[in-house]
């Protein structure tokens, strides 16, 4: 899948993520109960550039206590991806920003993104999503 970034994004988008989508196959156990979803092992996007606004983490020294309220949109990380990148609810994101303290950590997209197109003097041209940190998703545990 392809996307383009403009000159402003080339400067500001310093973070990189691999993007994984949930497999479209629903798995059920012998009793017919759906089990944990499985993710495709090949990323939809590799090393896609983005602007990552990381929220305070309760596990960090001096971190905000609000991070423990993981369902609140105020404590979810906000990430801007270029227009053309398709990311949906429950996609998994893997931090690939070399040198970042959260390199190799996993995030899960919460809700659908908000598209901010370039319009007049407003130089948007991005997809804004919210995500929260998670353990490696089922099927992707060994990916580093």
Is 2 contained in some domain? no
Number of structural domains (the chain) is 1
Q: What is the pTM of this model?
A: 0.81
Sign of the torsion formed by the C-alpha atoms of 119, 123, 127 and 128: negative
| 53-68 pLDDT per residue, tens | 987 655 555 544 444 4
CATH number at residue 119: 2.40.10.370
Residue 118 domain-assigned?
Answer: yes
For 29-43, the pLDDT digits (tens) are: 778 776 667 788 899
Residue 111 has pLDDT above 80, yes or no: yes
Does some domain include residue 64? yes
Name the more confident of 137 and 25. Answer: 137
Q: Which domain does 71 fall in, by range?
A: 7-134
Residue 131 CB partners (closer than 8 Å, separation 6+): 76, 77, 79, 93, 107, 108, 109, 110
């Amino acid at each position: 899948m392809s996307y383009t970034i403009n000159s402003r994004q080339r400067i500001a988008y310093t973070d990189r993520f691999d993007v994984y989508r949930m497999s479209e196959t629903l798995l059920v156990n012998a009793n017919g109960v759906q089990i944990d979803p499985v993710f495709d092992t090949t990323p939809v996007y590799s090393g896609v550039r983005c602007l990552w606004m990381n929220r305070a983490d309760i596990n960090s020294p001096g971190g905000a206590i609000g991070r423990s309220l993981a369902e609140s949109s105020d404590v979810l990380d906000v990430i801007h991806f270029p227009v053309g990148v398709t990311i949906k609810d429950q996609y998994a994101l893997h931090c690939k920003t070399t040198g970042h303290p959260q390199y190799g950590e996993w995030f899960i997209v919460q809700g659908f993104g908000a598209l901010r197109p370039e319009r007049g003097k407003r130089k948007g041209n991005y997809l804004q999503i919210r995500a929260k940190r998670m353990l490696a998703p089922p099927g992707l545990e060994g990916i580093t």
